[in-house]
Structure 1
Amino acid sequence: MLKSQPFLSIIISCYNYEMYVSECIRSVLSQNYDNFEIIVVDDGSTDNSWDKIQEFGDRISAVRTENRGSLKTCLNALSLAKGDFIYFLDADDVLGEGALAEIAPYLRPDVSKIQFMLLPIDKDGTPIGNAFPSLQPTAGSGPLIQSIQKKGYYDTPPTSGNIYRRDVYEGLGDMAYERGIDGVSYLLAPFVGTVISIDKPLGKYRIHNANLSSFSEVTSKRMKAQVDRFMGRLHHLAELVQSRPTATEKVEVRNNYAYVMELNTMSLVIDGKRPGIGHMSAYIGAVVRENTGNKRIALCLFGLALFLLPNRMARHLAAIRIDPSRSHQIRSRFKQAFCV
Structure 2
Amino acid sequence: MNPTQKMSLQAIDLVGPSQPLVSLIINNYNYAAFLAEAIDSCLNQTYPRIEVIVVDDGSQDGSPQIIESYGAKIIPVLKANGGQASAMNSGFSVSAGEIVIFLDADDYLIPNAVETIVARWQPETAQLHYRLTVVNTEGEAVGFCPSPGVQLATGTVWPILLKRGRYHSNVTSGNAFSRSALDKVLPIPETDFRIAADGYLVGAVPFWGSVAAIEEPLGCYRQHSSNAWSNSQSTEDPQKLVKRLRWALKHDLHRYYWIQHQAKALGHPTQENLGLRDYMHLIDRLASLRLDPEQHPFASDASAGIARKGIGAVWQQDCLSTGRKLALLGWFAIAGFMPSLFATPTIEWFLLPTSRPQFIQKTIRGIKSLRVA
TM-score scaled by structure 1? 0.84
After alignment, is 189-198 or 100-109 more displaced?
A: 100-109
How far apart in 1 are the matches of 2:289 and 2:81?
A: 35
State the shift of 1:305 in Å: 2.1
| Matching of residue 185 in structure 1 with residue 201 in structure 2 | yes
> Per the alignment, do residues 218 and 79 of structure 1 end up closer, same or farther by CA in structure 2, a change over 3 Å counting?
same
Counterpart of 2:177? 164
Counterpart of 1:225 in structure 2: which amino acid? W
Counterpart of 2:350? 321
| Partners of 1:6 and 1:108 within 8 A in 2 | no
Counterpart of 1:71 in structure 2: which amino acid? A
State the shift of 1:317 in Å: 3.2
Counterpart of 1:151? 164
| Matching of residue 205 in structure 1 with residue 217 in structure 2 | no
| Partners of 1:237 and 1:251 within 8 A in 2 | no
| Partners of 1:133 and 1:157 within 8 A in 2 | no
After alignment, is 295-304 or 284-293 more displaced?
A: 284-293
Uncovered stretches (5+) of structure 2, i.e. residues with no partner = 1-16, 295-300
Counterpart of 1:69 in structure 2: which amino acid? G
State the shift of 1:242 in Å: 3.2
Partner SS, residue 111 of structure 2: coil
> Per the alignment, do residues 114 and 282 of structure 1 end up closer, same or farther by CA in structure 2, a change over 3 Å counting?
closer
| Partners of 1:220 and 1:268 within 8 A in 2 | no
Counterpart of 1:311? 340
Residue 268 of structure 1: which of 281, 289, 295 is its match? Answer: 289
> Per the alignment, do residues 284 and 115 of structure 1 end up closer, same or farther by CA in structure 2, a change over 3 Å counting?
closer
Identity %: 27
Counterpart of 1:243? 265
How far apart in 1 are the matches of 2:152 and 2:188?
A: 33
> Per the alignment, do residues 133 and 159 of structure 1 end up closer, same or farther by CA in structure 2, a change over 3 Å counting?
farther
Uncovered stretches (5+) of structure 1, i.e. residues with no partner = none
Counterpart of 2:90? 76
> Per the alignment, do residues 31 and 86 of structure 1 end up closer, same or farther by CA in structure 2, a change over 3 Å counting?
same
Counterpart of 1:194? 210
Larger radius of gyration: 2
Residue 223 of structure 1: which of 245, 260, 263 is its match? Answer: 245
How far apart in 2 are the matches of 1:182 and 1:221?
A: 20
> Per the alignment, do residues 286 and 107 of structure 1 end up closer, same or farther by CA in structure 2, a change over 3 Å counting?
closer
Counterpart of 2:192 in structure 1: which amino acid? Y
Query: Can you list the C-alpha shifts for 1:111-157, whole angstroms capped at 9, x where unaligned?
Result: 1011111001110111112453446588x523x34532442111111
Counterpart of 1:224 in structure 2: which amino acid? R
> Per the alignment, do residues 162 and 181 of structure 1 end up closer, same or farther by CA in structure 2, a change over 3 Å counting?
same
After alignment, is 28-37 or 314-323 more displaced?
A: 314-323
| Matching of residue 11 in structure 1 with residue 25 in structure 2 | yes
How far apart in 2 are the matches of 1:275 and 1:333?
A: 30
Question: RMSD value over aligned CA atoms?
Answer: 3.2
How far apart in 2 are the matches of 1:59 and 1:9?
A: 13
How far apart in 1 are the matches of 2:118 and 2:214?
A: 12
| Partners of 1:75 and 1:181 within 8 A in 2 | no
| Partners of 1:168 and 1:185 within 8 A in 2 | no
Residue 301 of structure 1: which of 330, 344, 365 is its match? Answer: 330
Counterpart of 2:61? 47
Partner SS, residue 226 of structure 2: helix
| Matching of residue 96 in structure 1 with residue 110 in structure 2 | yes
Residue 284 of structure 1: which of 285, 306, 311 is its match? Answer: 311
> Per the alignment, do residues 284 and 328 of structure 1 end up closer, same or farther by CA in structure 2, a change over 3 Å counting?
same
Alignment: residue pair count:
331
State the shift of 1:79 in Å: 1.0
How far apart in 2 are the matches of 1:205 and 1:325?
A: 19
TM-score scaled by structure 2? 0.77
Counterpart of 2:273? 254
State the shift of 1:43 in Å: 1.2
